[in-house]
A and B are shown apart, each in its own frame.
Chain A
Amino acid sequence: MYRYDEFDAGFVRERVALFRDQVQRRIDGSLTEDEFKPLRLKNGVYLQLHAYMLRVAIPYGTLSSVQLRQLALIGERYDRGYGHLTTRQNIQFNWPKLRDVPDILDLLADVEMHCIQTSGNCIRNVTADHFAGVAADEWIDPRPVCELIRQWSTAHPEFSYLPRKFKIAVTGASHDRAVVKAHDIGLRIVRHPDTGAHGFEVSVGGGLGRTPMIGKVIRDFLPQEELLAYLEAVMRVYNLEGRRDNKYKARIKILVHETGTEALKARIEHEFAQLDGPSINADPEELARIAAYFAPPHYEELPAVSARLEAAKSANPVFADWIDTNGFAHKVAGYRAITISLKGIGEIPGDITSAQMRQVADLADRYSLSEIRVSHNQNLILPNVKNDDLFALWQGLVEAGLATANVGLITDIIACPGLDYCALATARSIPIAQAIAKRFADPARQREIGPLNLNISGCINACGHHHVGQIGILGLEKRGQESYQITLGGDPTEQAAIGEIVGPGLTAEAVPDAIERLVEVYLEARQVGETFIDTFRRIGIGPFKLAFQHNLEGADHVA
């Protein structure tokens, strides 16, 4: 893991002191609310429906057990004993008092964490494949690049007042688990077809929100040493030409759309050619210094098949199902990456109590080289577990109430906080997720349905990624009540796609039945080996629309 150097540590402490002073000046009246609000937002402090909310950055979703214990302490001492993991691999506390935030920031700084750039019109937390460094299908760990971008973008004077927020994601694997095509800039680490050298495929203008767009590739191959200068060229063009007259048209996706991909690409290339690359690009020594922090840990030489694991699986079918569902192929023989589902049936997606954080930290120390990941799917991952230790780990997770075997299945639902917490929301998300999870609670039925991602957002801003859910649900307000619009066929992977609306909005009560009917259409139509998205692509939305309409007939479901 990356460790702060003297500069990082000093910078973060200075920011805490600065914010402490800003809060004090707001209290004594030296700052007006209009002056103070952007300052608190720069430190991740939002005002939500019931209270302030503090968003803590977890760079590229990597956490140490020490950091997770500190988050547990903060949750317990300054919040209501829990936190909420977000789709940007961050964690949010829902009830902090503004007067306590400077002390919370100091506790975060103690473990090399902060809330900088988790809000505001700047480059936000850089996200990555949550299996970075361990996935069997990965050939380059994207985290050194993420860390380089984090350092370059932190408090970058030119890019601190962008037209709008800016999100970057990186993957180094063949399968995209970081939704890179739905980012302002998406980077896929690729190999040059002729030279074999590493570089990036660069996409721009992806994004969800009220105008969902899939990113357009503007460079098939960018040599890795030229990354920062190229990013600077993109950012500079966006900063100059992105719209500032209308908040809803200010993201780079609108600039790409209005300018045209080819014209914008030419504009960026022109800017890139003007820049003095060597003065911007990272020194190879600095790159090597960063990369050294992400060097693979010492793995034991183990057989690919563990007799102990196989015996435990045979003796305990519930454990076997959990391994098959929540286990992920590791690049080193004898190890697995394990996803800890925070989607217990009827629970709040992404919520974790302080007690559970400590239990996970202890299990990470014992079984996963003290490392934990946060996924954009709002789950936790123990990336380095020996096959021999899996049964003991599972027993520990059962004890913590964290052994739900549903990763990638219909109850592994992404849901934003919605109107239960969020001041921007137009409808609730969490109760919809809970109702659907309860409806599909039977583990055998979930496995029968197979891989299916269902995402829910409580407003058009799409924090719950509903556009890229194979089933997406968007909560809106219609005529004074909550109304839910269902989309189908979204895809967050390398075949990224935006879902299509299947029919009119429904009342909350009607949603589980409608989902059930849509799933039945798939089950009736699927051919051997097909998943939901395969069947959807083969038969199209038509049969789903018909069934959806039929389900509505005679019922008072439309909202």
Chain B
Amino acid sequence: MSATKRPPLPVILLANHFLDGEVVFWSGQGWSRNPQEAQTASTQAEADVLEEAGRLAFARAEVVDAALIDVSLSADGQPVPNHFRERFKISGPSVRTDLGKQAEFAKDQAKG
């Protein structure tokens, strides 16, 4: 895939788990359900690695809709998507804060 179609750096790789549908993040070692474990790519070479991981996982029917998402890094180094659509995607419905990752991983964030 040509690099020009890519979103601006830095990026993370997110997808939906094929069998569960749940949003998952490439952590460098594999897919994680926890947004805080998303690996951030800051160079084109690192983004190439993420893209390839997504391609292979799609081919193995592990995930669908794998995509690189441009992010900014928060003060504590956490990647935050630049577009509001992906911010909802990695947190959950804004009208049901008891559901989705915002509910499940909130404690970790508080600890963190």
B96: chain A residues at CB < 8 Å are: 348, 420
Please report which residues of chain A, range 84-109, place their CB below 8 angstroms from some CB of chain B when the two chains form the complex. 95-99
A80–B99 contact, CB under 8 A?
A: yes
The answer to whether B95 has its CB under 8 Å from any CB of chain A is yes
Asked whether A98 and B61 contact (CB < 8 A) given A50-B93, A420-B88, the answer is no
B contact patch SS: loop
Stretch from B1-9, B19-27, B40-48 that touches the partner:
B19-27
Distance between A350 CB and nearest chain B CB, rounded to angstroms: 12
Nearest Cβ distance between residue B56 and chain A, in whole angstroms?
13
Contacts of B64 in A (CB 8 A): 33, 47
A33: which B residues are within 8 A, CB to CB? Answer: 58, 61, 64
Q: Which residues in chain B, 37-85, are within 8 Å of chain A measured between CB atoms? A: 58, 60-61, 64-65, 83-85
At the interface, yes or no: A419 with Cβ under 8 Å from chain B? yes
By the criterion CB–CB under 8 Å, are A97 and B21 in contact? yes
Asked if A311 is at the interface of the complex by the 8 Å CB criterion, the answer is no
Is residue A29 contacting chain B, with contact meaning CB distance below 8 A?
yes
Give the residues in chain B near A47, CB-CB below 8 Å: 16, 21, 64-65
Distance to closest chain B CB from A352 (angstroms) = 14
Chain B contacts for A543, CB-based, 8 A: none
List CB contacts (< 8 Å) of A506-549 with chain B. none
Whether A29 touches B94, Cβ cut-off 8 Å, given contacts A49-B88, A419-B85, is: no
A272 within 8 A of partner (CB): no
User: Quick check: which of A323-331, A382-390, A428-436 contacts chain B, the rest being far away?
Assistant: A428-436
Chain B neighbourhood of A29, CB < 8 A: 60-61
In contact, B19 and A99 (Cβ under 8 angstroms) = yes
B89 contact from A26, A50, A434, A482, Cβ within 8 A: A50
Q: In the bound complex, do residue A480 and residue B100 qualify as a contact, i.e. CB atoms below 8 Å apart?
A: no
Q: Are A50 and B22 neighbours in the complex by a CB distance under 8 Å?
A: yes
Q: Is A151 an interface residue (CB 8 A)?
A: no
- A163 CB → nearest B CB, Å: 25
Nearest CB in chain A: distance from B3 CB, A: 23
Q: How many residues belonging to B are interface residues under a CB distance threshold of 8 Å?
A: 24
Give the tally of cross-chain contacts (CB within 8 A): 67
* Neighbouring A residues of B22 by C-beta, 8 Å: 50-51
User: In the docked arrangement, what's the CA distance between A48 and B20, Å?
Assistant: 12
A174 within 8 A of B: no
Partner of A98 from B19, B88, B95 at Cβ < 8 Å:
B19
Using Cβ atoms and an 8 Å threshold, which residues of chain B touch A52? 21
In the complex, A230 has a CB within 8 A of chain B: no
Query: Is there an interface contact between A98 and B21, defined as CB atoms closer than 8 Å?
Result: yes
List chain A residues, Cβ under 8 A from B16.
47, 51
- Measured in the bound complex, the distance between the Cα atoms of B60 and A95 in whole Å is 23
Nearest A residue to B95, CB-CB = A430
Q: Considering the chains assembled together, what is the distance between the CA atoms of A168 and B19 in angstroms?
A: 33
Does A495 belong to the interface (CB within 8 Å)?
no
Whether A98 lies near B18 (C-beta < 8 A) is yes
Residues of the A chain whose Cβ atoms lie less than 8 Å from the Cβ of B28: none
- Residue contact A428 to B94, C-beta cutoff 8 Å: yes
**Interface flag for A292 (CB, 8 Å):** no
In Å, the complex CA distance between A319 and B1 comes to 64
Which chain B residue has the least Cβ–Cβ distance from A97? B20
User: Can you list 29 pairs linking A and B with CB atoms under 8 Å apart?
Assistant: A26-B61, A27-B19, A27-B61, A33-B64, A47-B16, A47-B21, A47-B64, A48-B21, A49-B88, A50-B23, A50-B93, A50-B100, A51-B16, A51-B21, A51-B22, A96-B21, A98-B18, A98-B20, A99-B19, A419-B84, A419-B85, A420-B88, A420-B93, A420-B94, A421-B93, A428-B94, A428-B95, A431-B94, A431-B95
- Give the interface of A toward B (CB within 8 A): 26-27, 29, 33, 47-52, 80, 95-99, 348, 419-421, 428, 430-431, 434, 480-482
Binding site for A on B (CB under 8 A): 16, 18-23, 58, 60-61, 64-65, 83-85, 88-89, 92-96, 99-100
Other 4 A-B pairs with CB < 8 A, given A49-B88, A428-B94: A95-B99, A97-B21, A98-B21, A420-B95
